Chains A and B, each alone.
Chain A
């Protein structure tokens, strides 16, 4: 039977990546504590499954590499090899290597074998066994026998052979398939009827077989019962007595010669420890497995890509490639899918009801019922929408868990001692948001490791514990998720930042700024406090990129810092990128949407509070704060109804931790809108983050307030030093 195994590849890749994650997580736990048996078992099983799968699906390179890893782990499991930091490092590097190999494989790219070969050599030296110790002694058995010959086989099964589930009859039938047979059954040991034990086998057989088969072919038939019978195989006077040892050798000869199978003398391990104590990790895995395979839902990450600017360049190649592999599917727990199916069921019922009503004669009663039906439909739709959104939600632990490794590796490199604390790992957020936030978070965490936490000596001198602490915390707040990256390091140096900002021309030496305002300067473009460019952070990517990435997700980032006590970065993000709470605003004939999360307040302008700067920019004195006014009609070149500022309304939005006012003709409804990507359907337009379709079918554009302010040419918001660019261009494409 020819079968296409490629249909299982995707599942294999997914579970292998999952297995590698589990391996990595357990390995990282090991390095902190003393090795515990269950952890090692989990690591072993992951390697074992990957080996088994890759062998079966024909990924020889992965199979042969995992084989060495597995062999080593097996010895560790039996306590014959140690697992100290160097070995954990080696294993972690192997995990990385395997991950890259699998990624390459899943994307049909050629994989880089050199790393695997180098790592394999390292393992082999640890195993201090030459890798070429192939089982040559078994080769002779597999020799083909050439022409036909007569075989005499005596088969005397032990009485209890049936209790192994083996059936002598089938073996005889199998023999018959090899050639011509003559079978003589020996019933001598059959006792009297009343003494027969029905579970015993009393017969033995003598078989004459004329065939061109090899001895190994005959032995293979009896392979499973070698210990449960006496068997004698001879050929025309040439007799083999010592069948037992040869049969044992035979089973190892099944090993493909191509496989570098190093034979180790491994004593029978005691039965794997009873696994009553299941750690939480295993549980999660179990849950997930329950959810498959029926619940594989294809996510479409394209929908919201338009919202995202250029991603960070740090480690880009590696991480993006990984992401492509991840993004193809998500795993969803059964209950979420069940509730979805339930919703759809109700929707169908409602639809049927409305359909029936539409076919009947219209009178008052029908209209009333129709209205009820529509209300029901609205209810169904909303619930369905919520259920679908839930499917895209994943716990943030997917992102957090990556940092265990990152912090471990980078702190080792820097000679720092750092403990990573994860809080709120089960907080859920949209998968797309999660993918997009990962890079900025890597940057923030690296920053904390690199600049935040001091060296052990420095910490001791400051009277702090030698071990620094980085806390990642996530929680929900309203429709947002808040992620905090807290370190107990030296804190931001306001003086240094100030000096640097003055040097870089971000502020004037005379400007009076609060510490808070100074700290926010680190997010300004062209600002980097790193005095020396280190291997970790400061690769030319500044915090400004982090900020713009987060803003591209409609989020915000904030920093709080206390000298010598630490720094806290707070990232606020919408839970999803698919739907947005929007304020509909009107300019002339056109309706735009401003995301509600950006809006601070909306007000009517008192013209006496407006002053003009340099004949270009109007600013409003809003309770002592100067807010630049952006006329939406002007930016987008529309005809406005409002001839003067007091005729329209001003929507005050938060931009770059400063404020700006968007001047519109009118405020309309507030509603949830489904975001459609502009990039996917048209092209990226500065100042616009996407589009949506309104109830009446018209397309409305969603304003990206940060972009809009940029288009309007306003700079340095929030520094108290607002300037306007030479000429504010209106958006060409509109």
Chain B
């Protein structure tokens, strides 16, 4: 089963994402900020990381930059959740090593479809 790490400081978003992905047959773990996510990612391998951008302690862009620098996450799809107004965030995220992005708000079907673009 493919393992996904969902990172968001908002519990409702995190739960929604986790619930959706679990239903779609993924093994999902959750982290509430970049620091926790980085720690979890170092302790076990994930096939995909899905992270919010605005978070306390460590934001999503920094998380992606840090993850991409790890040998284990060199090719791993790293997706970010951004808002529609965050156009500049996308390029910033890409520069940090993000694979792609999902635009908020999204519905469960969109989420699964997007994940499917890079995780098979």
Contacts and interface: CB of A to CB of B under 8 A. Distances in A.
Contacts of A71: 85
A289 B57 contact: no
A165 B75 contact: yes
A272 B24 CA distance: 33
Interface in A240-289: 251-252, 254-256, 259, 261, 264, 266-269, 271-272, 275, 278, 282, 285-286, 289
Contacts of A67: 85
Contacts of B9: 45, 49, 289
B85 A289 contact: no
A3 B90 contact: no
29 contacts: A1-B24, A3-B20, A3-B108, A5-B108, A11-B15, A15-B11, A42-B56, A45-B54, A48-B54, A49-B9, A49-B13, A52-B13, A53-B12, A55-B104, A56-B106, A70-B85, A71-B85, A163-B68, A163-B74, A164-B94, A164-B97, A165-B100, A223-B100, A224-B94, A254-B103, A264-B85, A266-B88, A271-B62, A272-B59
A667 to B, nearest CB: 53
A45 B88 CA distance: 17
A550 to B, nearest CB: 36
Nearest to A44: B54
Interface of A: 1, 3, 5, 7-9, 11-12, 15, 41-42, 44-45, 48-49, 51-53, 55-57, 63, 67, 70-71, 74, 162-167, 170-171, 173-174, 199, 221, 223-224, 227, 251-252, 254-256, 259, 261, 264, 266-269, 271-272, 275, 278, 282, 285-286, 289-290, 292-293
Nearest to A9: B12
B56 A52 contact: no
A289 B32 contact: yes
B102 to A, nearest CB: 10
Contacts of B108: 1, 3, 5
Contacts of B57: 275, 278, 282, 286
Contact of A167 (B84, B97, B105, B118): B118
A227 B94 contact: yes
Contacts of A261: 84-85
Contacts of A44: 54
Contact of A63 (B56, B92, B105): B105
B98 interface: yes
Contacts of A167: 118
B10 A164 contact: no
A255 B100 CA distance: 16
B104 A165 contact: no
B75 A292 contact: no
B100 A224 contact: yes
A56 B23 contact: no
A69 to B, nearest CB: 12
